[in-house]
Amino acid sequence: MSTTTVLLREDMENLGGRGEIVKVKAGYARNYLLPKGLASLATKGNIKQIEQERAALLKKAAHDKATAEAQAEQMSNIALSFERKAGESGQLFGSVTSMDIAQALQAKGYEIDRRKINLKDVIKETGEYTVPVKLHREVTLNVPVTVTAEGGAATENQEKAAAGADETPAKTPPGSEQTPDETSETAGE
């Protein structure tokens, strides 16, 4: 396999940060990174240019992080609530997706891209969940999300959750990162 050394112009989730020199497959660089302006070939001239820009990039990165931290502080008391049609067992007829969460945040005055909402699988049951929202590479906010049955009718799962609310933590959405303790707790529900 042929690889190419590129200089990243933007932060890439699983590749690296802005200004880093990384090796990627030639096709990935040629067909995706280079045409979209996400990277440039790592030539001596480009490396010198990025080193000159590095101070400005570090300043911009610090500003972006400070902005994200301020936004996280401002959003720390937000809780989202969704009302959906559900069966008697609490199973939703439909789901709550990252797009729904982004629209609810937008309705509250926060413009968050749906791709920054780390919802691995859609929410398909009523209950309380904690959804991670990635505001910056180093700043993640956990937003509590409550999904209730339409009409306000409490289901068995909700009644159990309300009775033992102090004892059990909020569920994490299906497929989100869980510790082994959380996995065993949510598996029994």
* 96 in the same domain as 55: no
3-state secondary structure of 187: helix
* 99 in the same domain as 54: no
Q: What span, in angstroms and rounded, lies between the C-alpha atoms of 189 and 184?
A: 9
* 19 in the same domain as 91: no
Contact, 72 vs 146, CB < 8 A? no
State the CATH number of the domain containing residue 141: 3.10.430.100
Domain end (from 73, 99, 133):
73
Strands (E), the chain: 3-8, 21-25, 39-41, 80-84, 91-96, 123-125, 127-136, 139-149
* 46 in the same domain as 83: no
Domain end (from 49, 73, 97):
73
Q: What span, in angstroms and rounded, lies between the C-alpha atoms of 174 and 130?
A: 10
State the CATH number of the domain containing residue 27: 3.40.5.10
Q: Which domain holds residue 37?
A: 3-73
pLDDT tens, residue order, the chain (189 aa): 699 999 888 888 888 887 888 999 999 999 999 999 999 898 888 888 877 777 787 888 889 889 999 999 998 899 999 999 999 898 999 899 999 999 999 999 888 888 899 988 899 999 999 999 998 888 899 999 999 998 764 444 444 444 444 444 455 555 555 444 444 444 443
* 85 in the same domain as 56: no
